[in-house]
Amino acid sequence: MKGLKQCMLIGVCLAVSVPALAKIIPWNAEIPSSLSAYQGNAQQLAELTGERILIYAHPTSKTQLPTLNNNAASKTQFYSAAVVLPVAEAQVEKLLRHYPNYVGLFPTLKSAKVLEQQGSIQQIKYQVHIPTPIPVLNFKETVVMQHHLGENSISTLIIDAPIPYGAGKLEWFALGPHKTLVTVTQWGDLNQPKGFLFSKILNALPEAKLGIPPSTNAFLLEALQQRFETDHIAALATPIPQMRFNPQQLQKIAQISQKSGQPVSFILPSYQVKEGKASENLRFSSTYQYFAHPVEKLRPWLAAEATQQLFPRQIKKVELNPVNTQNIDANYKVSVGLGVIQIPFNFKMHFYQPDSLQNQFNANGGDLKFVKGGMRLLPQSQGTLFQITSSMKIHDQAPFLLRAMRSMPYHDILPAVGGNTVYALKVQQKLR
């Protein structure tokens, strides 16, 4: 939850990204294709994506941007995401290549104006506004991006934004008469933010940097998915959704995570979850991280108290109340600092561990009502896949600061995918 605001504020600048005088900047876009890990096979990526949003990272590389000082090569790691839309390629292309269409498509954009055009290249000025019930946290910015239209792609260079150095690419691939794969690939330098607010947030919560790339991609593709798909809500028949992959697909997930060092995540469709006599619609995210370690090394991170070891700055105290050998209640005392301001939270969770390779958890009190998920260890021929599935939704009786997040787009999606990623990468840091 603590990363939601940062993900939205910073991520939107990567998603849309005012010089005094607009001028086309020469640029040879060297952005990896979303299909590079799939031998250029769009169908293979689409089959792995299914009805979900798939998010994954590329191996670290060097990228030259004309906006960087001295045109220096910067060490970068691009993140990609994919979604399959039930519409013809021509319809997707018509929407994406006309940049004023982005107003109304992406809920944070309020206007789009062409500043400069040279052939298939356009510089666009976007007005971005994210209101909140807390005026000091309101976000209003004018950002400029330079879009280069290709045959089935749009490559984008950030010209001026709170995250001033970055680039990305949208791609679309026809899968059939009424089926199109859309992908986004992007990178932004989170180590050089501009502006007081961004700097304060990232200094206070450095872990947020880990969750911003996947959350940014999720923001973009969720907007497209909502534009073209009707929401089908299925009843959840198991404690948490069960991800089903064939051996080749699971091997592919492990391979991508191993090569990039980053998680592979899926954002699932809506599920109706019963809580007593009531029910709630929840969006789950499921994240896979490869570790070159046997399951014995990963087992400690399934424990209820592991969170405090990963986030000692935020989790001040954990009270454990065992129910029996398989069930335990945990009370977390959390404090999130923004400069001199400390904001306390109280989270109460119930953990169930049916065996040594998995757990399940859900909120059972405190400041968050709708939290549900689980973790699993999946042994591989070499190493282990660590899977974490979760859903987080802010209820209308949450503390004011959390409740304020309900005014932001996709507040029921971004915390889970960002939180899963941060958890997996913090475990990775501990095992190095």
- Residue 1 reports pLDDT greater than 70: no
The one-letter amino acid at 272: Q
Model confidence over 301-348: pLDDT tens digits? 999 999 999 999 889 999 999 999 999 999 999 887 666 667 788 899
Q: Please give the Cα distance from 160 to 18 (Å, whole number).
A: 6
Query: In the structure, what pLDDT confidence band is assigned to residue 195 with cuts at 50, 70 and 90?
Result: low
Tokens read off for 339: 């400069």
pLDDT at 398: 75
Q: Are 374 and 239 in contact (CB under 8 A)?
A: yes
Residues in the chain, total: 432
pLDDT at 336: 76
Q: Please give the Cα distance from 337 to 340 (Å, whole number).
A: 7
Q: Please give the Cα distance from 410 to 331 (Å, whole number).
A: 27
Q: Please give the Cα distance from 246 to 357 (Å, whole number).
A: 20
CB environment 48-64: b (16+ within 10 A), e (fewer) = bbbebbbbbbbeeeebe
Domains, the chain, ordered by start: 4-64+71-228 (3.30.530.20), 234-431 (3.30.530.20)
DSSP β-bridge partners for residue 130? 139
Q: Are 383 and 259 in contact (CB under 8 A)?
A: no
Q: Please give the Cα distance from 353 to 87 (Å, whole number).
A: 43
Query: Which range is least confidently modeled, 80-89, 222-231, 239-248, 284-293?
Result: 222-231
- Residue 186 reports pLDDT greater than 80: yes
Q: What is the residue-averaged pLDDT of the chain?
A: 88
* CB contact set of 28 (below 8 Å; sequence gap of 6+): none
What is the pLDDT averaged over residues 177-183?
A: 97
pTM of the model: 0.91
Model confidence over 86-120: pLDDT tens digits? 999 999 999 999 999 999 899 889 999 999 999 99
* CB contact set of 96 (below 8 Å; sequence gap of 6+): 154, 170, 172, 182
pLDDT at 309: 94
DSSP β-bridge partners for residue 376? 358, 387
Instruction: Report the share of the chain in percent with pLDDT over 70.
Output: 88
* CB contact set of 50 (below 8 Å; sequence gap of 6+): 84
Model confidence over 261-283: pLDDT tens digits? 999 999 999 999 987 777 889 99
Q: Are 204 and 338 in contact (CB under 8 A)?
A: yes
- Residue 165 reports pLDDT greater than 70: yes
- Residue 377 reports pLDDT greater than 70: yes
Model confidence over 116-152: pLDDT tens digits? 999 999 999 999 887 766 666 667 788 999 999 999 9
DSSP β-bridge partners for residue 84? 181
